[in-house]
Amino acid sequence: MSPLMSAALTASLAVLIYMTLFWLVSLWRRDASVVDIGWGPAFVLVAWIYRAHGPEMDIHHLVLLVLVTVWGLRLGIYLFVRNWGKGEDRRYAKMRAREPNVFWWRSLPMIFYLQGVLVLVISAPHWVAQLEPGRPGWGYWEVIGVALWLIGFAFEAGGDWQLARFKANPDNRGKVMDTGFWRYTRHPNYFGDCLQWWAFYIIALDTPHGWMTLPAPILMTFFLLKVSGVSLLEKDIGERRPAYRDYIERTPAFVPWFPKSKH
C-alpha cells in the first residue's frame, strides 16, 4: 500500500473514533454543540497523522504543521471557553426539536460523521504536502502562504477576541459590534478562517501534486459563505436584532472594506 493511501486510511479511522467520542460526550451533555469544539483540533489530529506517514521532515512540512496546529488548537480552546456550559447552539436545538426521539442517534451520521468527512476532504493540502517532499529551502509559495496565513489569523483570532471583550461588557447588551475588525467586515473571523485555508493550499503548491488539492479551500470558502457561516448566521438576524439591519447596509459581509457613511 502506498504511503498516501496508508496515511488516508489511518486518518479516516482516527477521525471515526474521534467523532464518535465527541458524539458520546454530546449524549452525556445533551448538547450537539460540542462538535464545534472538536472541529479545529480534528484538523490538527489529521495533519500529525499525515506527518507521521511522511518522509523526513523539512522546513516545508514543519511550516504547514505548525500553522495548522496553531490554527486548530486556538479555535478549539476559544470555542470551549465560549460554549461550554452555555447550552446547545440554536442550530442543533432546532434539529433536536424537530425529531426529539431520534435526534440522539441521527446526530451521529448527520452531524458528527459528516463533519469528520469534511475534515478529511478539506485537509487534502496537508495530506499531499506532508506525504511529498517539497522544494529545498524556502520557496516563494511558502512566503506568500505564510504572509496570507498571518493576515488571516489576525482577522480570525483578533475578531474573536474583540467580540468576546465587547460581549463581556454589560453596557453593550443588545448593541451591535461595529468597531475594530468588525468595522470593515461583518464576519472578520470567517474571513480570516478562509484566508488561512487558502494559505495552506498555497504552501502546498511547493509540492509536486499540491495544485490538485484546490477543491479543499474552495469547499471551505463555500461552507463559510453559503452553508454554516455567513448565510446561516444572518438568515433571520435582522428580525431578531433590528439594529443589525443598519449594520448590514453599511458594512461588507465578508471581504473587508471601508464602511458606507451614515446619512
Global pTM value: 0.94
Euclidean distance between CA atoms 38 and 115, whole angstroms = 10
Element housing 149 (H / E): helix 140-168
pLDDT of residue 214: 98
Can you tell me the distance from the alpha carbon of 208 to that of 135, in angstroms, rounded to the nearest whole number?
A: 9
Collect all residues with Cβ–Cβ distance below 8 Å to 94 and sequence separation of at least 6. Answer: none
Q: Who's near 41: CB < 8 A, 6+ residues apart?
A: 72, 73, 75, 76
What does the block give as the cell for 124?
487534502
Q: What is the mean pLDDT of residues 83-101?
A: 89
Side chain identity at residue 2, one-letter code: S
Contacts of 128 (CB under 8 A, 6+ apart): 4, 204, 207, 209, 210, 212, 213
Mapping DSSP to helix (H, G, I), strand (E, B) and coil, where does residue 158 land? Answer: helix
Could you report the per-residue pLDDT of 202-240, keeping only the tens digit for each? 999 988 899 999 999 999 999 999 888 788 777 767 666
CA 216 to CA 18: how far, in whole Å?
21
Mean pLDDT for the stretch of residues 170-180: 91
- The secondary structure of the chain in percent helix, strand, coil, rounded to multiples of 5, reads 75, 0, 25
pLDDT in the model for residue 232: 74
